[in-house]
């Protein structure tokens, strides 16, 4: 990476901000598994003590709410049972990402328990685009018999014209989705089971919605279906889709992670083998190891391989398919690295853009399947709402966006709709299509929207930490109490700690991919640490203030507490 790019990276300095009140240990006795630091961390998250705290720390499946509280659930259950009684032909149509693939797999297993033999279909990102597109519908209908019922999972909420087209063909439609609805139109279908069409459970991903449909079916007509055994799929989808780990999501993921090591799904077992997961996987393990490999197949336009991996009943076949997904992921990483370097070089070369509140970049040489990952990395690097766009030979761009807290990309897309062909998604992650000649206007109008809807303070990158502690307080007992807060993720961030006056015990060890392994010292106490990407930065002169998370590291049967560094600054900063 050139000097200009490195200088631009250093210019994006983080403001360190403590979450809530400082941690002031008072030395009072505490319950064995509920020490002072845990009390502090749950207070930081606004969780009251008592039953609410117990439900947070030890969530139980018996506390799940009635699935019929979700919008259109009764109508969906009635139509599915009607299809089962009539032995109708059913097609499950889903997205090509982890949530979509997992949702298809879940719905397939649920419908089979009711005697149906559904056909699964997943569109190809490059040629058919996202969701219920007309191109994907055309291929879907051409490849198999016309279904009596099409169940759209992880897409379809805003597909008014496409659903109308299916209805004209005599096909009933159920939509099981979690994307934002269009307030001005609603598809005319048998049911739209989408929590965002109501007021509750809006945090669920599509796989969570599908699991809830299974729960509702079992309440209405019990069969030999073990819903608990399917929670591993729900956990993988929920974590990978980066939806908030709050409410019932936290419960579903907590139990799904426990089920993952002993999973009955050969594909998930093979993916754990190939990624070297241990017997106690975390949300981070799923998000950084399993999720990217399932996603990679769709990104590289081979979504059928991801679907086959999760749906095969043969472990040998699953291992072969998992190896293919791993290969796709390596290929995706190579493409992503090239595009990210080109994007960073373009930003560095255009000094005039340094003060822009947004990033909008596009190229005819960029792969449509990885622009979302590049957008995510650029957003984190520069702390700006970002769209990265791959433009085809006809001048039509397909882009993915990632945002900073406080800026809704869905609202931004609506405000800039005159510059776009189409767009939609979530507040923090969205997609769009645009003509190449409109990109400059879109960048201008997107920047105006961000400036009008955010303050200068909101646009300054922040590192929020939970407590200032010392190395002397770190131990395996400390880690055990801290782990009661898991799973960590969106809506329940992993606690970040700050330690001051930290020195190096020995020179940093450079690992592959520019990561650093360090031995740190504070007073008489040493701690092992990893600084991912730390080799890309010029480290300040010690002593340091460091912001870090902690993790359990097990190697050759020995368990230690390991520091994962998030940020670093010299004491004079």
The phi-psi region of residue 522 (left if phi > 0; otherwise alpha if psi is between -120 and 50; otherwise beta) is: beta
SS3 of the chain: helix, strand, coil, percent, to 5: 45, 20, 35
Give residue 128's pLDDT.
Answer: 87
Which range among 27-31, 231-235, 284-288, 527-531 has the greatest average pLDDT? 231-235
* CB-based contact 162:155 (threshold 8 Å): no
Confidence of residue 26 (pLDDT cuts 50, 70, 90): low
What is the total residue count of the chain?
Answer: 573
pLDDT band with cut points at 50, 70 and 90 for residue 97? very high
Six token digits for residue 573: 């900063």
The candidate with the shortest Cα–Cα distance to 326, out of 351, 305, 352, 356, is 305
Average pLDDT for the chain:
90
- 171, 79, 198, 60: CA torsion to nearest 10: -130
Which residues on neighbouring strands pair with residue 527, listed in sequence order? 520
Domains of the chain: 3-58+462-570 (2.40.50), 64-327 (3.90.1640.30), 350-452 (3.10.310.30)
Q: What is the pLDDT of residue 11?
A: 38
* 196 contact partners, CB below 8 Å, separation of at least 6: 157, 178, 179, 180, 181, 202
Alpha-carbon span 418 to 218, nearest angstrom: 46
Q: Is the pLDDT of residue 511 over 90?
A: no
Higher-pLDDT residue of 538, 8: 538
**What is the rounded CA–CA span in Å between residue 397 and residue 364?**
8
Tokens 């080799």 correspond to: 535
The tokens for 260 are 């993952």
Three-state secondary-structure class, residue 227: helix
At residue 334, φ and ψ (nearest 5 deg) are: -65, -45
pLDDT band at 12 (very low <50, low <70, confident <90, very high): low
Confidence class of residue 273 from pLDDT cuts 50, 70 and 90? very high
Cα–chain center distance at 452? 28
Instruction: Look at residue 572 and tell me whether its pLDDT is greater than 70.
Output: no
Per-residue pLDDT of 44-70, as tens digits, reads 888 877 778 888 888 899 999 999 999
pLDDT at 519 over 50: yes
DSSP at 39: H
* DSSP output for 257-308: HHHGGG-S-HHHHHHHHHHT--SS--HHHIIIIIHHHHHHHHHTT-HHHHHH
Q: For the segment 113-169, what is each residue's pLDDT rounded down to a tens digit?
A: 999 999 999 999 888 888 899 999 999 999 999 999 999 999 999 999 999 999 999
Residue showing tokens 């097609």:
91
In tens, the pLDDT along 346-387 reads 988 876 677 789 999 999 999 988 999 999 999 988 899 999
State which H helix or E strand residue 422 sits in. strand 422-425
Most confident of 421-425, 564-568, 569-573: 564-568
pLDDT at 94 over 80: yes
pLDDT for position 5: 30
Asked if residue 159 lies in contact with residue 132, where contact means CB atoms within 8 angstroms, the answer is yes
Predicted confidence (pLDDT) at residue 1 exceeds the cutoff of 50: no
209-223: average pLDDT: 98
Average pLDDT over residues 429-449: 95
* Residue in 113, 100, 112 with CA at minimum distance from that of residue 209: 100
Q: Using one digit for the tens of pLDDT, what is the confidence trace for 235-256? A: 999 999 989 999 999 999 999 9
Helices (H), 350-461: 371-382, 409-415, 439-452
The tens digit of pLDDT for each residue in 276-300 reads 987 889 999 999 999 999 999 998 9
């Amino acid at each position: 990476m050139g000097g200009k790019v490195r200088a631009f990276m250093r210019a994006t300095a983080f403001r360190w901000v403590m979450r809530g009140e400082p941690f002031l240990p008072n030395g009072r006795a505490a319950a064995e598994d509920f020490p002072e630091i845990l009390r502090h961390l749950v207070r930081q998250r606004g969780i009251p003590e008592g039953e609410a705290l117990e439900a947070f720390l030890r969530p139980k499946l018996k506390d799940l709410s009635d699935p019929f509280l979700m919008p259109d659930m009764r109508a969906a259950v009635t139509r599915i049972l009607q299809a089962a009684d009539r032995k109708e032909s059913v097609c499950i149509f889903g997205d090509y990402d982890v949530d979509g693939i997992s949702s298809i797999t879940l719905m397939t297993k649920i419908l089979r328990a009711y005697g149906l033999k559904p056909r699964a279909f997943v569109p190809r990102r490059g040629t058919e685009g996202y969701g219920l597109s007309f191109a994907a519908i055309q291929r879907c209908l051409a490849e198999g018999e016309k279904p009596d019922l099409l169940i759209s999972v992880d897409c379809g909420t805003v597909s008014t014209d496409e659903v109308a087209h299916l209805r004209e063909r005599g096909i009933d439609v159920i939509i099981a989705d979690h994307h934002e609805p269009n307030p001005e139109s609603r598809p005319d279908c048998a049911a739209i089971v989408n929590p965002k069409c109501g007021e509750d459970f809006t945090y669920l991903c599509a796989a969570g919605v599908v699991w809830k449909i299974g729960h509702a079916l079992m309440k209405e007509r019990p069969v030999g279906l073990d819903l608990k055994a399917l929670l591993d799929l729900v956990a993988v989808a929920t974590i990978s889709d980066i939806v908030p780990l709050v409410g019932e999501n936290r419960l579903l993921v907590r139990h799904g992670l426990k089920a993952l090591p002993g999973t009955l799904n050969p594909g998930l077992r093979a993916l754990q083998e190939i990624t070297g997961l241990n017997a106690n996987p975390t949300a981070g393990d799923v998000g950084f190891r399993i999720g990217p490999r399932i996603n990679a197949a769709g990104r590289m336009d081979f979504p059928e391989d991801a679907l086959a991996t999760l749906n095969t009943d043969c472990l040998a076949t699953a291992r072969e398919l998992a190896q293919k997904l791993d290969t796709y992921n390596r290929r995706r990483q190579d493409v992503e690295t090239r595009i990210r370097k080109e994007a960073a070089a373009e930003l560095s070369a255009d000094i005039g853009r340094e003060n822009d509140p947004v990033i909008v970049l596009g190229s005819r040489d960029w792969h449509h399947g990885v622009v979302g990952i590049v957008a995510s990395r650029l957003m984190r690097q520069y702390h700006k709402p970002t769209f990265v766009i791959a433009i085809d030979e006809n001048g039509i761009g397909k882009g993915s966006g990632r945002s900073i807290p406080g800026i809704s990309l869905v609202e931004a897309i609506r405000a800039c709709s005159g510059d776009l062909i189409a767009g939609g998604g979530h507040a923090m992650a969205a997609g769009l299509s645009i003509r190449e000649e409109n990109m400059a206007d879109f960048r201008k109008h997107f920047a105006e929207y961000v400036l009008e809807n955010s303050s200068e303070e909101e646009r300054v990158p922040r590192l929020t930490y939970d407590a200032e502690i010392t190395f002397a307080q770190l131990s395996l007992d400390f880690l055990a109490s801290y782990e009661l807060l898991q799973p960590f993720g969106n809506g329940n961030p992993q606690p970040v700690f700050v330690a001051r006056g930290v020195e190096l015990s020995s020179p940093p060890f450079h690992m592959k991919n520019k990561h650093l392994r360090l031995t740190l010292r504070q007073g008489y106490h040493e701690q092992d640490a990893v600084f991912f990407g730390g080799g890309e930065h010029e480290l300040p002169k010690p002593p340091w203030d460091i912001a870090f998370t902690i993790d359990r590291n097990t190697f050759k049967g020995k368990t230690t507490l390991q520091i994962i560094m998030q940020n670093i600054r010299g004491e004079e900063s």
